[in-house]
Amino acid sequence: MSDPLMIETRALSRAFGSQKAVDNLDLQVPRGSIYGFLGPNGAGKTTTIRLLLGLLRPSGGSIFFNGEPFTENRRRLLRDIGALVETPSLYHHLTGRENLELTRRILDLPRANVGAALDFVGLTSDAQRPVRTYSLGMRQRLGLALAWLGQPGLLLLDEPANGLDPAGIRELRAQLRGLARERQVTVFLSSHVLNEVEQIADWIGIINRGRLLFQGQLQSLQQYQSPLSVRVDRRADASALLKEKGFNVREEGDDILSVQTSSEEDAATVNALLMRHGIQVFRLERRQDPLEDIFLRLVSGSERGSAA
């Protein structure tokens, strides 16, 4: 039997009045992965995380962690989940250590976990200061320490790099990668900062208007969503031919076509088609579009679709 997914949602939906914030979401997050959950503001990322934590009740669908239904086992399953939702939830009149101690008491964790969590985020030397004196980045790091306090198997992080300086972001990336590789911790992080996700995530989910537009490995997203760049001798003929066969073609430069394909087989089809019609192909390559371009293409495509 295959390893159950760390997170699986089936047709998960949540509406606020007539507004669907999450619409038939089928998430599949493999264990030990770093899953980047991308979407523009208001796409439904935070609502999804709140649903996953049981802070909101779904209007429809179901959630499974490790193959177990969440609704029936909420408290037991939450023991293995650490979360940072939106801005870190902190008690500003307490010190950093007291904030961790408070959660430690509730979760009945060993005292050593407080020191370990402070160490993990590099706040040990500032632990005795009241949180109200912390900078935004320090608060964010304390929020991460709270999420990691119970050393859970799953971290749900909503915009975890908010307020961190470049060095802090790099450190966070290294820490999360380390957790995933060495401890098999699954990290589900939502963000609208594509560059950040591109550098850390190995799985990607793209959401817009509550609907999942893509889900899969980052590599395959870049592979299949990036267009083919084809250099030919008769650009106009080649363009007409490919358009006739249903390909989305854009002419670039004097002899280059940009062809949108959805699989690796399409590249072979394009090549064979052009050769069969006597068009010489000098170069056929798949450009690795940055995630940002792919993301914007998917999001604008879905918006055109819903407007139509």
Partner 1 sequence: MKEFYRVLSAEALKLRRTLALRLAVVTPLTIVILVFGIYAQRHETISPGANPLTGFAQLILTMWTIILLPLYAALAAALLASIEHQGNNWMRLLALPVSRGFIYAAKWIAGIALLLVSSLVLSTGVCAAAEALRAIKPGWGTMALPTTMIFKGAILSFCAAGLLFSIQMWISLRWRGFLPGLVVAAVALILMFLSARGGGALFASIFPWSLPAMAMAPSSPHRVLAVTWGVFGGAAVSAIACFLLSRHEFE
In whole angstroms, give the CA distance from residue 8 to residue 30: 9
The phi, psi pair for 128, rounded to 5°, reads: -90, 0
Distance CA 304, CA 302 (A): 5
Which residues, other chains included, contact 117 with Cβ-Cβ below 8 Å and sequence gap of 6+? 100, 145, 146, 148, 149
The yes or no reply on residue 51 touching partner 1 (CB under 8 A) is: no
Q: Give the total of residues touching partner 1 (CB under 8 A).
A: 34
Helix pair 218-225, 291-307: axis angle to 10 deg:
70
Binding to partner 1 by residue 276, rule CB under 8 A? no
278 Cβ contact list (under 8 Å, min separation 6): none
Cα–Cα distance measured from residue 291 to residue 223, given in angstroms and rounded to the nearest whole number? 11
Question: Nearer Cβ to partner 1, position 109 or 204?
Answer: 109
Query: Can residue 15 be called a binding residue for partner 1 (CB under 8 A)?
Result: no
Closer CB to partner 1, residue 89 or residue 195? 89
Per-residue interface string for the shown chain with partner 1, residues 224-263, x marking contact by CB under 8 A: ----------------------------------------
Region near partner 1 per CB under 8 A, out of 26-34, 106-114, 184-192, 257-265: 106-114
Nearer to partner 1, 147 or 169 (CB): 147
Q: Choose, by CB under 8 A, the member of 11, 60, 92, 250 that binds partner 1.
A: 92
- In three-state secondary structure terms, 57 is coil
Give the footprint of partner 1 on residues 122-161 (CB under 8 A): 130, 146
Residues 200, 37: Cα–Cα separation, whole Å? 12
* Binding residues among 72-91 for partner 1 as defined by CB under 8 A: 74-79, 81, 83, 85-87, 89-91
Min dist CB 249 to partner 1, Å, is 46
For residue 79, the minimal CB distance to partner 1 (Å) is 5
Strands 34-38 and 203-208: parallel
The least CB distance from residue 277 to partner 1, in Å, is 59
151 vs 229 by CB, closer to partner 1: 151
Largest distance between two CA atoms of the chain? 76
Question: Shortest gap between Cβ of 251 and partner 1 (angstroms)?
Answer: 49
| Nearer of residues 110 and 301 to partner 1, judged by Cβ | 110
- The residue type of 146 is L
Q: How far is the CB of 16 from partner 1 (least distance, A)?
A: 7
H helix runs in the chain, sequence order: 45-52, 74-78, 96-107, 112-121, 136-148, 166-183, 194-200, 218-225, 235-244, 264-276, 291-307
* Sheet of strand 81-84: strand arrangement: 81-84, 154-158, 186-191, 34-38, 203-208, 211-217
User: Based on CB atoms, which residue is closest to partner 1, 87 or 220?
Assistant: 87
Q: Which residues bind partner 1 (CB under 8 A)?
A: 16, 50, 53-57, 74-79, 81, 83, 85-87, 89-94, 98, 101-103, 105-108, 130, 146
